[in-house]
Amino acid sequence: MNIYFDNAATTPLDPEVFEEMKPLMLDVFGNPSSTHAHGREARTKIEHARRKVADLLNTTPSEIFFTSGGTEADNTAITCCVDAYGLKHIITSKIEHKAVLETAMKMEELGLAKVSFVDLDHQGHINMDHLQSLLKNNSRSLVSIMHANNEIGTLNDINAIGELASEYDAIFHSDTVQTMGHFAHDTQNLKCHFLVGAGHKFHGPKGVGFLRVCKSKRIGRFIHGGGQERNHRGGTENLYGIVGMAKALEIAYREMEQHEKHIRGLKDRMIAGLTERIPGVSFNGDVRDGHSLYTVLNVSFPPSDDNDMLLFNLDINGVSASGGSACNSGASTGSHVLTGINAASDRQGIRFSFSKYNTADEVDFVLEKLVEILEPVMA
């Protein structure tokens, strides 16, 4: 049995999305910037996709800009916002995705903005009192706080963060890559100026994403070149990727309630099975309903000399999981997220992340394999 429990890294393409993309790969090949019939056909497909994404997020098409993925969207929001508004202060957290962390630190390295890190509790929730203090005691700020952490799944209340940021005339960007397609985002009732999506996180294609820019905010170009994306991003658009992503988001919203119920059931089953069968197991982040991304479970097993081999042993038993953020795969420095919440350094974190295609039988199989692998430690 081959089991894929690394859906926070990427998800399998939905067959319905593939069917939507297929004709565009072969028949609709015109450059969307061309004015002839072939180009106009491609442009029409892109604008229909933009309208679809905008409708799902309860916004207007003029606020949706297509990108190559979440990393580019995060980079664009931070760098262009600092430039457009002359911001000298960025507030973020030490457990953000590297697309945010490294971009913010680059701004500081270049002398463009000072970076402050908001305090976190041991589960990864931000300290709202400290955030208010940072907003109050510094110049106008860019707040960049993710909705859900990609490694431990802890959710932040971005409604509350947005309300607080607005009190101090701060600009608020949230990396919503992990929650897009899994939670409904009503942008008209959310005080967040920049939201981010990546198609491959909700069963769409890789290499395509979007940035939602609130109509009250205007930023310049991140990628220079032609006048694509209303002069905001140079480069010929990824036509079939954009259309596929829009279709994937449509399916995600259409089936969100049933998928959440199913996936949450798998996560709860995994938690119960691990707790019952593996003494000393613990969970990183907040696993409570309503406080956690229901697709992600980060587990620490009892300390052992074989901990470093756990992912390898799962892999040879047909189970794909992650040792943290997929963007850190192969890194020797460990998880900056687990370090950021002061997790025990002798307990490796294994991230299991679930999708609509996983089953209860797969959870039970993984539990059996974990018991087999860890039996010498538990003896």
Please give the Cα distance from 198 to 84 (Å, whole number): 24
Q: Is 227 exposed, middle or buried (0-12, 13-18, 19+ CB in 10 A)?
A: exposed
Contact between 178 and 296 (Cβ < 8 Å): yes
Helix (H, G, I), strand (E, B) or coil at 349: strand
Determine the Cα angle at 95 with ends 90 and 97, to 5°. Answer: 80
Q: How many angstroms separate the Cα of 4 from the Cα of each of 7, 227, 351?
A: 7, 40, 12
Nearest 5°: the CA angle 18, 211, 354 is 50
Q: Indicate if 214 belongs to the active site.
A: no
Question: What length is written for the chain?
Answer: 379
What SS3 state is found at 35?
coil
**Which of 15, 20, 8 is CA-nearest to residue 242?**
20
Rounded Cα–Cα distance for residues 81 and 140 (Å) = 12
- Cα-to-chain-centroid distance, residue 331: 20
Which among 105, 102, 103 is positioned nearest to 116, based on CA atoms? Answer: 105
Put residue 313 in one of left, alpha, beta given phi > 0 → left and psi -120 to 50 → alpha.
Answer: alpha
Scanning 168-284, the segments in alpha helix (DSSP H) are 228-231, 239-254, 256-277
Report the alpha-carbon distance of residue 251 to residue 126 in Å, rounded: 32
Which of these is catalytic: 80, 192, 214, 327? 327
Ranges assigned E (strand) in 68-220:
89-92, 114-117, 141-144, 171-174, 194-198, 209-213
Evaluate whether 46 touches 243 at the Cβ level (below 8 Å).
Answer: yes
Residue 313: count other Cβ atoms within 10 Å of its Cβ.
15
Catalytic sites, residue numbers: 327
